Amino acid sequence: MKFKNTIVACGTLLLFLSCATNPFTGNKTLAFVSNDQLFPSAFAQYDQFLSENKVVTGTSDSEMIKRVGQRIAVAAERWLNANGHQGYLDDYKWEYNLVDDKTVNAWCMPGGKIVFYTGILPIAQNETGIAAIMGHEVAHALANHGQQRMSAAYIQQGLAVAGNIAIKDEQTRGIFNQSYGIGSNVLGMLPFSRSHESQADEIGLTLMAVAGYNPDEAAELWKRMKANSGGEAPPEFLSTHPSNDTRIENLQGWAPKAKAEAKKFGITSFRPLGEF
């Protein structure tokens, strides 16, 4: 009974603290850590990462990364302003860097600090492919996914502590810890992460379309991603990301909506692919 009461208390606390709103979905989101706290820490970590890695500068590829990033950021501001969210980006400090690394990846830290690895360029294949990846990464920043994941981790840890306090029997506590560790990940944290990835895919499509890039190409990018993976991926329910097939299907389904959003901003045709 005590454990049940503890869970209820934690759930009530969660309702009080879940006060941030995602401007793209209108949904309430977890926000246990404010951006005032999170952004400076993220900026410092980003600077440290750049100091410890080989940043590519002065090349056509590095300039392309910055150019596409700026276009996507402008598209985001246009969309936010048009939808009643003026000033939403005031604390964001956009930065886009290309890092010499064979890893097939790109990532974004809270507040708009983005890194592309050179290893992803051949799969991106062209500037529109870069825009699809950039839109996805910028979307993570705009939707405050880093903030939400940190908040979710606090809840996961807090419930684990509560369980260990409430359960007095050592054997029962051991069973709880083992079950909770697996269950909270498979049933909680992993689906939470996958939902963020899908959300970033959908928001990113709109951003790339408003920036003048054809959203149909996002699904083509993920077909290339799938081919590059060689079919080596964990089952979707054990992954932080949706499967390649799920992403391709979703992106194909969302593309018409992204085009419709772009049309509201006068975008009726898209930039050439811009192979590099």
The catalytic site residues sit at: 137
Strands across the sheet containing 95-99: 55-56, 95-99, 113-117, 106-109
Q: Phi, psi (5° rounding) for residue 231?
A: 80, 5
Q: Which two tokens stand for residue 84?
A: 């009643």
Integer Cα distance of 153 and 161 in angstroms: 12
Q: What are 56's strand-pairing partners?
A: 98
Burial class (CB in 10 A: 0-12, 13-18, 19+), 185: middle
H-helix or E-strand spanning residue 63: helix 60-82
β-strands 113-117, 95-99 pairing: parallel
139, 137, 118: which is closest to 64 by C-alpha? 118
With a CB cutoff of 8 Å and minimum separation 6, the contacts of 113 are 42, 43, 46, 93, 94, 95
Tokens of 215: 């959203």
Q: Is 227 helix (H, G, I), strand (E, B) or coil?
A: helix
